[in-house]
Homo-oligomer: A and B are copies of this chain.
Amino acid sequence: MSGSDAPDGSDVVVDDRAIPDATVARLPLYLRALYELHDQGDETVSSDGLAQAAGVNSAQVRKDLSYLGSHGVRGVGYAVGDLLDHIAAVLGLNRDWRVLLVGVGNLGRALASYGGFRERGFKIAALVDADPGKVGRSVGDHQVEPLEDLDTVVAREDVSIAVLAVPADAAQTVADRLVTAGVTAILNFAPAHLEVPAHITVRKVDLSTELQILAYHERRRHQGRTTTVVDDG
């Protein structure tokens, strides 16, 4: 078991539970920074060093790491290797994750061959597409299977995470099928809102949305007197 700590002798098992979402979203950044520090031979790092590498505030780093029940050393910093292992464990990265990819259009194929996934322990287990013209094609080291076989594929490959790269108008339908097939986490690249049961985790990556946000800032920057009158007369 873990820690002997517990000021008053209560049972503290790996402080699971209750890591704020905002912190969870930053853990991968810390992890990345720690791998870099590790590769360049650093054995310890201060909250400030880690903060700089990750592009955040040092108080943020300390607070975030405190949620992990992590033990830095006062006056010294954090042990890079230990912290790295710890964060990886919290994120569930001490195992491989097999991922189902649905939709092998341009984006889907790019994702299938994206090295960053495998590198971080995410392996594409199978590829599925609704288009009969695409079924049977080889992408990476897999053949595309028909969408109809979704349940079979999910069961066979025992995946719980799916990446959804289908057109917006198909997204909800496919998501429903994924859920009934037993998938519990979806990374959605389709520009559409997904309605899913409460116990399913969805993250969305919306490429156009991001550009639109940039456009907003550009518009404001350069608007000078490019009068942004909506139209009106």
Contacts and interface: CB of A to CB of B under 8 A. Distances in A.
Contact of A229 (B1, B31, B110, B184): B1
Contacts of A218: 92, 97, 160-161, 184-185, 201
Given A110-B107, A216-B27, A122 B211 contact: yes
Interface stretch (A11-19, A127-135, A148-156, A173-181): A11-19
Contacts of A184: 218, 221
B219 A92 contact: yes
Interface centre among A99, A193, A203, A231 (most CB of B within 10 A): A231
A109 interface: yes
A8 interface: no
Contacts of A55: 193-195
Contact of A210 (B97, B203, B227, B230): B203
On chain A, which size bracket covers the interface?
Answer: 35 or more
- Scoring A24, A122, A228 by chain B CB atoms within 10 A of each residue's CB, the highest score goes to A228
Contacts of A203: 210, 213-214
A59 interface: no
19 contacts: A3-B232, A12-B229, A29-B193, A91-B219, A92-B215, A97-B211, A99-B211, A106-B109, A106-B110, A110-B110, A111-B207, A117-B211, A120-B211, A161-B211, A163-B211, A184-B221, A185-B215, A187-B214, A203-B214
